[in-house]
Amino acid sequence: MIRTRFAPSPTGYMHIGNLRTALYEFLIAKSQGGKFILRIEDTDRERFVDGAIDIIYDTLKVSGITHDEGPDIGGPYGPYVQSERKNDYLKYALELIEKGEAYYCFCTKERLDSLKTETTEHEQIAKYDRHCLSLSKEEIEKNLEEGKPYVIRQKIREGSTTFHDEVYGDITVDNAEMEDQILIKSDGYPTYNFANVIDDHVMDITHVVRGAEYLSSTPKYNLLYEAFGWKIPTYIHLPAVMKDQHHKLSKRNGDASFQDLVAKGYLPKAIINYIALLGWSPSVNQEIFTMDELINIFDIKGISKSPAIFDPVKLTWMNGEYIKKMSFDEFYKLAEPKLKEAVKTEGIDLKKLAGYVQTRIGTFNDIAEMVDFVDSLPEYETSLYVHKKMKTTEEMCLEHLKKAVPVLENLDDWTNEGIYNALIALIGELGIKNGQMLWPVRTALSGKPTSPCGASELAELLGKDETIKRINKGIELLSK
């Protein structure tokens, strides 16, 4: 059975690239009836951030990426937090020492620093010179008895290492390029490089899916698998998520994390749909997918090895599609607080306004700007009245607004329909095009180049007094 794992470090931040990794791991497992495991990689104690694990749980939960085993729900391969497995790693490291595949290293920081060579531009860290590989058994025992601090290093074998990645193909690396990396640190914790291999093996992980930044370390992991005599998992490395051709999407961009995007008004479902396509192409010509559809259709073959560029415009479009598809009640629940904050005028029918807004926004944060004209008419240029396609001029608009005032003043049926019919009747009387009346009225009522609804809807929403007032204001501006 396929088993994949998401192995985030608790950094307090869910980068979109990491969430995409989690999603693909989930989809790979679920599309083949497998299990998806959550494992917390907290061996780097210096980077530990309080509350970070809850961010991981919350993000997965609202994203619909549900794990089958993990720290919060347990499972047959626990514990699922690396710091709780600390003693196991040491046991495995000692096994490698026994096998001659690893060794104790007592080198001091000063000695390691002295290995650095000065180059013209910058200090370069030289490869560890294997000083401690030649220590005798007696020397090692003496050092251990004296309680000298030590690390355990992997003894990199000679030769070359070849492996296959499902996305990047076959990769061969000369082992001479690799350092005798540290497996157990002086604080007794394993390095990430060691812990992930042990955990992936003991947790029966069949497919290791992770960012391409780990591709270059993979040969070292494979040497560890070989040293233990373990089966190497299937590797699926994912290309970086970029801001543009040359820059990775980073925390500094302000929209690199799931939390950033939610705060910007994007819906978790739309974010997930969008990132599913960030580096993967489906075999069908379709862009909007539910999670179940993704599970059905996801295929490793569709993963691209070229970097994926995060496109906020596309995400906003997709989010808008999700908003349009919501039931009105569902939409209104989320929109109401935004509307209440943006519209303070008494008596405005917020539900009606919400109905107009629902089909026109990209995110919920667009609402405020879209309805800002309700509380107060913005200052605007009279050039707004000029509409090329409707062939309106400022003089014409002035004339038509003047004609509209008495008609509206005398109208009793102040409903969208009533107002519309009255204006259409006037248009017929004047023998003009619809737009040549509706456009100036819409402009006078909103003071903006675009509005969430047309002239009669705006008039109904604002009420008779405000409508007449705003049209008169338009007449005043156009008369200047």
Interface segment toward ligand GLU; rule CB under 6 A; list 1-9, 260-268, 368-376, 439-447: 1-9
At closest approach, how far in Å is the CB of 242 from ligand GLU? Answer: 17
At closest approach, how far in Å is the CB of 41 from ligand GLU? Answer: 4
Among residues 28, 38, 41, 219, which is the contact residue for ligand GLU, using CB under 6 A?
41
- Largest pairwise CA distance in the chain: 110
User: Is residue 370 part of the contact set for ligand GLU (CB under 6 A)?
Assistant: no
Among residues 9, 206, 222, 363, which is the contact residue for ligand GLU, using CB under 6 A?
9
User: Is residue 196 part of the contact set for ligand GLU (CB under 6 A)?
Assistant: yes
At closest approach, how far in Å is the CB of 253 from ligand GLU? Answer: 19
Q: Given the complex with ligand GLU, which of 40 and 242 has the nearer CB atom?
A: 40
At closest approach, how far in Å is the CB of 93 from ligand GLU? Answer: 19
Nearest alpha-carbon partner for 344 in 316, 374, 321, 370: 374
Q: Torsions phi, psi of 97, nearest 5?
A: -60, -45
Nearest alpha-carbon partner for 206 in 27, 85, 28: 28
SS3 286: coil
Cα first-last separation, the chain: 78
Helix (H) or strand (E) holding 3: strand 3-6
* C-alpha to C-alpha distance for 23 and 298, rounded to whole angstroms: 11
At closest approach, how far in Å is the CB of 381 from ligand GLU? Answer: 52
User: How far does CA 417 lie from the centroid of its chain?
Assistant: 44
Within 8 A by CB and 6+ apart from 26, the residues are 4, 6, 36, 65, 66, 67
130: left (phi over 0), alpha (psi -120 to 50) or beta: left
Q: Given the complex with ligand GLU, which of 6 and 310 has the nearer CB atom?
A: 6
Q: Given the complex with ligand GLU, which of 219 and 447 has the nearer CB atom?
A: 219
Annotated catalytic, 251?
Answer: yes
At closest approach, how far in Å is the CB of 369 from ligand GLU? Answer: 37
Among residues 210, 269, 338, 400, which is the contact residue for ligand GLU, using CB under 6 A?
210
- With DSSP H G I counted as helix, E B as strand and the rest as coil, what are the percentages for the chain, rounded to 5? 50, 10, 35
Q: Given the complex with ligand GLU, which of 161 and 316 has the nearer CB atom?
A: 161
| C-alpha triplet 39, 192, 161: angle, nearest 5° | 110
Among residues 3, 4, 7, 453, which is the contact residue for ligand GLU, using CB under 6 A?
7
Q: From residue 386, how far is each of 116, 390, 395, 468, 479 by CA, in Å?
A: 71, 8, 10, 21, 15
Residue with tokens 């907290």: 42
One DSSP character per residue, 217-265 reads: GHHHHHHHHHHHTPPPPEEEEEPPEESSSS-B--GGGS-SBHHHHHHTT
* C-alpha to C-alpha distance for 475 and 404, rounded to whole angstroms: 11
Q: Given the complex with ligand GLU, which of 8 and 71 has the nearer CB atom?
A: 8
* C-alpha to C-alpha distance for 22 and 27, rounded to whole angstroms: 9
Q: Given the complex with ligand GLU, which of 82 and 363 has the nearer CB atom?
A: 82
At closest approach, how far in Å is the CB of 365 from ligand GLU? Answer: 29
- Residues in 163-192 at the binding interface with ligand GLU, rule: CB under 6 A: none
User: Is residue 8 part of the contact set for ligand GLU (CB under 6 A)?
Assistant: yes
* C-alpha to C-alpha distance for 76 and 286, rounded to whole angstroms: 38
At closest approach, how far in Å is the CB of 383 from ligand GLU? Answer: 54
Question: Is the separation of the CB atoms in 36 and 67 below 8 Å?
Answer: yes
Q: Given the complex with ligand GLU, which of 51 and 347 has the nearer CB atom?
A: 51
Q: Given the complex with ligand GLU, which of 242 and 371 has the nearer CB atom?
A: 242
Interface segment toward ligand GLU; rule CB under 6 A; list 3-11, 102-110, 273-281, 364-372: 3-11
Residue with tokens 């799931």: 258
* C-alpha to C-alpha distance for 240 and 405, rounded to whole angstroms: 60
* C-alpha to C-alpha distance for 471 and 419, rounded to whole angstroms: 14
Q: From residue 381, how far is each of 61, 463, 477 by CA, in Å?
A: 49, 24, 9
Q: Given the complex with ligand GLU, which of 5 and 338 has the nearer CB atom?
A: 5
CA neighbours within 13 Å on the CB side: how many for 68? 17
Which of 116, 142, 251, 333 is labelled catalytic? 251
Name the residue with the smallest CB distance to ligand GLU.
Answer: 210
At closest approach, how far in Å is the CB of 8 from ligand GLU? Answer: 5
Interface segment toward ligand GLU; rule CB under 6 A; list 7-15, 262-270, 346-354, 388-396: 7-15
**Residue ranges in contact with ligand GLU by CB under 6 A:** 7-9, 41, 196, 210, 214
Instruction: Catalogue the active-site residues.
Output: 251
